[in-house]
Amino acid sequence: MRHIDFFDLLLVSKDFAFYFKKIKSKVSKNVLYTNTEPSLYKPSKEVYKIVDIPDYMEVELHNSSTKLKSIDINTYKGSMVNLTKYSNLKEFLTKHFNAKKRAQFNTYKKRLEKCFNISYKVYFGNIEKAEYDRLFKKFPEMIKKRFDLLGTEHYDLAVWDRYEQNSFSLINEKRACLFVIYDGNNPISISLTPVMGKVLYGFVRGFDVNYSKFYLGFTDLIFQLEWCFNNNMEVFDLVKGVFPYKSKFTNSTYYFQNKIIYNTTSVSSTCIALAKSLKIKSFYFIVKLLKKINIDTLYHSYINKKNDEKKIEKLSLNNECMLYKTTILTSDFIVSKNHNTIDIRKSENSFLRKTVYDILYTLQEPITSITIYKETEERYILKGIKKSYKITATKAL
């Protein structure tokens, strides 16, 4: 049996065209994808299992004749935003969130833009190779740093070469978007989102953890939603994974399906397909049963505990990991001649960035208005327009 991932196919146009002739949206009845070119896909004794096809898609395979049949099996749930229910971003936010939450989103964005030189860019149909290479060097670095801090691993990093190899042509062919938030010339949030017809897939995203106080995830998600409405997208698919930000934005769920395709004229093909489908159905029946008695909750609690232990272990092994305590200084604090200024943008001072940016979020001042002084290797002073802070370093453990 040949195992094929639907989302992997999205990243390689010729492979996608090999299997699929037409795909329609059950949400809007519009055609999302069509291929008029002849395919080499022929009925054979081999059985194909295409996994993770969203069930809101009506799929027509090449050479779909009486010889070919498919068994469709619901697996995991996915989440999406059905955009056809709203005319624009403002209507979506108004209907989906109360005034307090909308004000919070606005605060995150305004403070980010007030403190830094922020710009937003969508690469769709054109991206220079030099900038693409620069972004795709920074992209996995941001993901790795964030998940290292969480004490977990990110699946996409294991197959990053495939993303980097294919995404340049996908973006230039308007088969994928790259959403980037810049601080000056520095990318601080990057999202790769494949496009099929009127569907945008929230595929993989990363952000600079130094800016986490500003809730970049929400700002980035609203940025993408705005683009969806401006470009008449029908579905913003947030795919797999249970994350707090998804539950706040999604208005619909669906099932991923495994599609087992076999040749009915072949006895061996039919037997393999039926046996495999029974095994998969049994597995997901047990999964649903365990969820009913909250075994999945206990499992996730156990995994989170193990991840916390790994995180603590990593910190304890890394002597360079430090915690930074901040204290507000009195208004009569005077900088002495022993205080040397440092540039937070320089790589040798990167260890201070998150602490400084956290303070900026509270101060609501531009980064250009603050000065940072070094007293000792463990003590620093941040002097702003309104207040000054002492930053003291201690060992993490």
How many angstroms separate the CA atoms of 70 and 393, rounded? 61
pLDDT of res. 222: 95
pLDDT of res. 64: 53
14 by DSSP, 3-state: which? helix
How many angstroms separate the CA atoms of 46 and 2, rounded? 7
The candidate with the shortest Cα–Cα distance to 87, out of 248, 230, 222, is: 230
For residue 79, the tally of other CB atoms under 10 A from its CB is 21
Check if the beta carbon of residue 208 is closer than 8 Å to that of residue 180. Answer: no
Main-chain dihedrals φ then ψ at residue 361, nearest 5 degrees: -60, -40
* pLDDT tens-digit profile, the chain (397 residues): 788 888 888 877 666 777 788 899 998 888 888 887 766 556 567 788 889 999 999 988 776 555 778 899 999 888 999 999 999 999 999 999 999 999 999 999 999 999 999 999 999 999 999 999 999 999 999 998 887 776 677 777 878 888 899 999 999 999 999 999 999 999 999 999 999 999 999 889 999 999 999 999 999 999 999 999 999 999 999 987 656 667 788 888 899 999 998 888 888 888 888 898 888 888 877 777 776 665 655 545 555 555 554 544 454 444 445 677 888 886 666 777 667 899 998 988 999 999 999 999 999 999 999 999 988 888 899 988 888 899 998 765 5
Type and span of the H or E element at 152: none
Partners of 172 in the β-ladder: none
How many angstroms separate the CA atoms of 152 and 57, rounded? 32
How many angstroms separate the CA atoms of 88 and 83, rounded? 9
The residue ranges of every structural domain in the chain are 2-73+253-297, 80-251, 322-395
Query: How does DSSP classify residue 385?
Result: S
All residues at 6 or more sequence positions from 109 whose CB lies less than 8 Å from its CB, including other chains = 219, 222
Say which CATH class 80-251 falls into: alpha beta
Extended beta strands in 83-169, E state: 118-123
pLDDT of res. 8: 82
